[in-house]
Chains A and B, each alone.
Chain A
Amino acid sequence: MAQSLRTVLLAALFWLGSASGQHHHAGHGAASAGRAAELGAMAAIDAQGILWAAHKEGGHVLVSRSGDFGRSWSNPTRVTVEAEGTDPSGEARPKVATGNDGELYVTWTRPLGKRHIGEIRFSRSIDGGQTFSKPLTVHADRQEIAHGFDAIAVNRSGQIFVAWIDARDRTAASAAQARDYRGAAVYFAVSDDRGASFRGDYKLAEHSCECCRIALSPRDDGSVLVLWRHVFAPNIRDHALAAMHPDGRAGAVQRATFDDWRIDACPHHGPSLAQDAQDRLHAVWFTQAPERSGVFYGRLRAGGVDAERRVGGDAAEHADLALMGKRVAVAWKEFDGERSQLRAMVSEDGGDNWQERALAATSGASDQPRVLAWKDRFYVFWNTRNEPLSVKELP
């Protein structure tokens, strides 16, 4: 209790510190007022049904605990030692994953220096979220270049995989005067000791898009599948799929979506991926290809997509997906001109037929929704300005 009170006081002090240290210009008061708490957040449910949320406030990464699926939250525990800057992209956020033995693993991107470069940070708790380890940098590369859009997953044997978007190959190409390096690259690191250390800077693929979140899905063989927005030559921003193996090997890169979206742009709109017991890959993704603009669901197979369907209406954004057995759940948000609607669709038959429903709405700013699965139930975690760390159970 004393510890959590101290955490709150420290958080309040840092909030004051960061608020007074920021330079706002006139007319921004209302928008600035709530900024101490960032909206980017992520949640995970552990084997005991405890919900853990990683979020950021006053420049600090925090972890909050809920024993009742989000109806109430404990005082947050601070993960970072020093307050850090904000990654303003809307696709970046602290992540939390649970280990096989109650561990909590947290990653985030720490902005560095003056040019929006960053590094991937990691911290763990092995005492049930009471304390977190001193953060470490996951990658060995210490160049002041872009490392960002971290993603974390734990495999069956407890090995931790962290993947991220890395600019080192683009930087090297630029230094060598090589023109037109497409995008950036996906790198990863693996921990065999519950996050005490990482080995890696293994390259998964070159020519990823630079600014979209990465989706991970662990497989039974210990590898972790990665789905990301790629830049296929010359500038096709469709998705690619490859496996990260525990020994650092990278599986073959396969094209996963075939929309043929040709553009030199940052969509800021990454995919989501889950593998079912029949090894089928369920995904949601976003494209603005001509005649095919929107969010889509489909089952990925070599060379094509099965059971593809559009998700939501024209304004659908930032879909996420989870599954349990034959049940698949997708959640997304849609702005209707006044409010952001949180919507979901559930399939009971592996993605062939769907039931869509409205879950919530907010008249303020909101983060991307996350779908969580636990014991035959789906929950949608949605951090909104008006209702922080909210959780909606899917009927």
Chain B
Amino acid sequence: MIRPVVLLSRAAFAIAAIALGPSSSATGAELRGFDAGSMRAIRAAHAGKPFVLAFWSTQCVPCRQEMALWKSIADRNPKLPVVLVATDLPGQEEIVTRFLARYDPGAVERWAFADEFAERVRYAVDRTWRGELPRAYFFDAEHRAEARSGLIDQSWIENWISRQAKPARKP
């Protein structure tokens, strides 16, 4: 569950001035199963660093447009992890993989819902999310998230990225 508060340790807060961290090894063709426990694992994998978590599905037309955006972001910000999660029901991994090959989001982490109880998975991410897509979360180094529903404006993302690179202000 995402809360608008500091989720990581004070130590992480202290090193918030460090710029974007190295990208995860989960990029590439591998499609990983996303369930109610995955949120914790993803946050731990990117501890102390900003990252983007973006949900999409093969049925969502605006999501297809967003794929090119993620590729552009990933290409120009190789150290910013982008975690892409397909919310298609389990069993659709083949179609999800085909879509990813066709719409090519670039060097991003690729996950797909592995639990047909979608409400439970969504709740673990954000209890205010009603399933609309695309839905993206922009986690800063302290893992405070900004949530965005709908097709995102590239300039908004670039502005967010530029803010992550700046030293953190004193609390």
Contact = CB atoms under 8 A, between A and B. Distances in A.
B116 A31 contact: yes
Given A28-B90, A266-B59, 13 more contacts: A25-B93, A31-B33, A35-B91, A86-B92, A88-B57, A116-B58, A263-B149, A266-B57, A293-B128, A314-B128, A335-B119, A335-B123, A365-B115
Contacts of A115: 98, 102
A307 interface: no
A39 B122 CA distance: 18
B3 interface: no
Given A88-B59, A365-B116, A24 B91 contact: yes
B131 A269 contact: yes
Interface in B43-59: 57-59
A116 B128 CA distance: 29
B42 interface: no
A355 to B, nearest CB: 25
B141 interface: no
A166 interface: no
B132 A266 contact: yes
A267 B132 CA distance: 4
Closest 8 A/B residue pairs (Cβ): A264-B151, A335-B119, A263-B150, A265-B150, A89-B59, A365-B117, A266-B60, A88-B88
User: Binding site of A, secondary structure by majority: helix, strand, loop or mixed?
Assistant: loop
B41 interface: no
A267 B130 CA distance: 8
B116 A86 contact: no
Interface in A9-27: 22-25, 27
A211 B114 CA distance: 22
Contacts of B33: 25, 27-28, 31
Contacts of A286: 130
Question: Chain B interface residue count: which class?
Answer: 35 or more
B149 A31 contact: no
B61 interface: yes
Contacts of A89: 57, 59
B19 interface: no
A24 B98 CA distance: 15
Contact of A32 (B57, B62, B91, B149): B91
Interface string B125-159: 00110111111000000000000011100000000
Contacts of A364: 117
A243 to B, nearest CB: 27
A203 interface: no
A335 B63 CA distance: 25
A88 B93 CA distance: 11
Interface of A: 22-25, 27-28, 31-32, 34-35, 39, 86-91, 114-116, 184, 210-211, 263-269, 286, 288, 293, 314-315, 317, 335, 337, 340, 364-365, 385
Nearest to B124: A337
A211 B59 contact: yes
Interface in B14-32: 31
A27 B118 contact: no
Contact of B62 (A90, A91, A265): A265
B128 A39 contact: no
Nearest to B151: A264
Given A31-B115, A365-B116, A317 B59 contact: no
B95 interface: yes
Nearest to A39: B116
Nearest to A22: B91
A268 B127 contact: no
18 contacts: A23-B93, A24-B90, A28-B33, A31-B90, A34-B116, A88-B57, A88-B59, A90-B89, A116-B58, A211-B60, A264-B62, A265-B62, A267-B132, A268-B131, A269-B132, A314-B127, A364-B117, A365-B115
A165 B29 CA distance: 33
Contacts of B114: 27-28, 31
A172 to B, nearest CB: 15
Interface string B88-123: 111111110011001000000000001111111011
A315 B127 contact: yes
B4 to A, nearest CB: 16
Most chain A C-beta atoms within 10 Å of own C-beta, residue among B59, B61, B99, B149: B59
A337 B123 contact: yes
A249 B128 CA distance: 41
Given A22-B91, A27-B114, A88-B89, A265 B149 contact: yes
A271 to B, nearest CB: 14
B43 to A, nearest CB: 19
A317 to B, nearest CB: 6
A116 B116 contact: no
A337 B95 contact: no
A175 B35 CA distance: 39
B125 to A, nearest CB: 12
Contact of B134 (A88, A116, A265): A265
Contacts of B149: 263, 265, 288
Contacts of B133: 265-266, 268
Nearest to B92: A88
Contacts of B59: 87-89, 91, 116, 211, 266, 268
